[in-house]
Structure 1
Amino acid sequence: MMAQPPPERFLPQRLSPGRLAPYQAAAGSQRAAVDLYRWNIAVSAAVYEGLHLLEVVLRNAVHDQLVIWHQSTGNSGSWMDDRAGILEDRARKDIAIARARTRKPSPTEGHAVAELTFGFWRYLLARRYQDNLWRLAVRHAFPHLQPQTRSVVEKPLISLHKLRNRIAHLEPVHRRDLLADRQDILTVLGYICPDTRDWYQTGCRIPDTVKERPHTR
């Protein structure tokens, strides 16, 4: 069997020198950069498990409360129709795009919810919605947040949204405090449902994967 060439021989070309450059700057050599790149893939996967769960739990919790609020108004249709004119243009466009993506002639709320991005739900916690959506509905999605201060939830979600986008775009995360990111995930899950937080924590791979980080200068 022919000996395989070391990865630093072929990976710089396949990944591109520009993509590998930040890893080499952190690691000090091309061989170490390749090891760091492999670890970045592994830790990104471990972190994404938590982001996956958080996104699904967050959107369902917020959606459920918006449904309850909408029903209390006596209006027909869905909260996504925004008959009260609360949502900003960007949010209304996101909903229209989500409904179109379902490729269904009459998409249900559930179909559209699944198509809306993490960013959509994160922006529903922005200060602009403090006196309407937060006060009327969204705060009830976080029953274990006491006192129910919107900014306390928004702050970790801003950071986690940025992290999610970095991972989704295959960017380096090796300079982040990933244990702090894990804590943010646990914290927000705990505001929504401590049982779900504890279930995730028992199988969370982030701490063990962080320990496997290659040494860098």
Structure 2
Amino acid sequence: MSLRNAMHNALADGRSESWWELPNIRLMDNHRAILDETIIKLRRQVSAPTPGQIVASLPFGFWTRLLDKGIPRDPVLSYETAFWQPRLIKAFPQAVNLKRKVLFADLTQIREMRNRIAHHEPIFKMPLETIQNDISRIAGYVHADATVIMNGCSRVAAVLERKQDAIVHGINSF
């Protein structure tokens, strides 16, 4: 949620809350389709969805894919020059020398884990400690206190400490 809001705020800053409607904003066809489908679904519930409702309804994958490369060297569809350099880097004010493609790779792995969980698929073979560290680090890029707050109320580290025993010995003490 904080990632989504930070990215939206960076894209909307100084222009429209509906930044995706601006004529100079071009999304790859698959990204535009996700946005359009989200708006169509919302219109079944409310006649005129607000920008806030649209932003909140867009899936995590939409936001992570805005950090993809798009079409490199394309004057309009290079996400590096159209989104990252002028705006999205500002969504991560606590990061130093953050590279779009590194952030995209980390978020892609997080999204894949999230999707596996949502589909009740096993995740024990995934690099859970690395992913947990990535989530914590990326949250800290968005806001200085985010990592501390998140780690203070999370049980993930404690569960991960017991993971190997559970896998090897079948101990179910979770």
TM-score when normalising by structure 2: 0.83
Distance 1:178 1:149 in 2: 22
- Structure 1 or 2: more helix by fraction: 1
Amino acid at match of 1:161: R
Counterpart of 2:128? 178
Distance 1:203 1:179 in 2: 17
Counterpart of 1:105? 47
* Deviation of the 1:81 alpha carbon: 1.4
Alignment of 1:177-196 (within 5 A): 177-196=127-146
Counterpart of 1:64? 9
8 Å contact 2:80–2:100 — kept in the other structure?
yes
Distance 2:167 2:68 in 1: 39
2:127 is the alignment partner of 1:127:
no
* Deviation of the 1:78 alpha carbon: 2.0
Distance 2:84 2:25 in 1: 15
* Deviation of the 1:94 alpha carbon: 1.1
Q: Of 115, 120, 125, which residue of structure 1 is paired with 2:57?
A: 115
Where in structure 1 do 4 or more consecutive aligned residues deviate above 6 Å? none
* Deviation of the 1:90 alpha carbon: 1.3
Q: Which of the pair has more CA radius of gyration?
A: 1
2:158 is the alignment partner of 1:216:
no
Q: Deviations over 1:112-149 (max 9, x none)?
A: 11111111000000112001111121111011111142
Counterpart of 2:152? 202
* Deviation of the 1:77 alpha carbon: 7.4
Structure 2: stretches of 5+ with no match in the other structure: 71-78, 170-174
User: What is the percent sequence identity of the aligned residues?
Assistant: 30
User: Structure 1 residues 173, 115: closer, same or farther in 2, change over 3 A?
Assistant: same
* Deviation of the 1:179 alpha carbon: 1.4
2:96 partner SS: coil
8 Å contact 1:119–1:161 — kept in the other structure?
yes
8 Å contact 2:116–2:122 — kept in the other structure?
yes
Distance 1:77 1:113 in 2: 9
User: Structure 1 residues 83, 170: closer, same or farther in 2, change over 3 A?
Assistant: same
Structure 1: stretches of 5+ with no match in the other structure: 1-55
Counterpart of 2:75? none
* Deviation of the 1:111 alpha carbon: 0.3
8 Å contact 1:65–1:141 — kept in the other structure?
yes
User: Structure 1 residues 187, 83: closer, same or farther in 2, change over 3 A?
Assistant: same
User: Structure 1 residues 202, 81: closer, same or farther in 2, change over 3 A?
Assistant: same
1:151 partner SS: helix
TM-score when normalising by structure 1: 0.68
8 Å contact 1:65–1:137 — kept in the other structure?
yes
Distance 2:11 2:19 in 1: 6
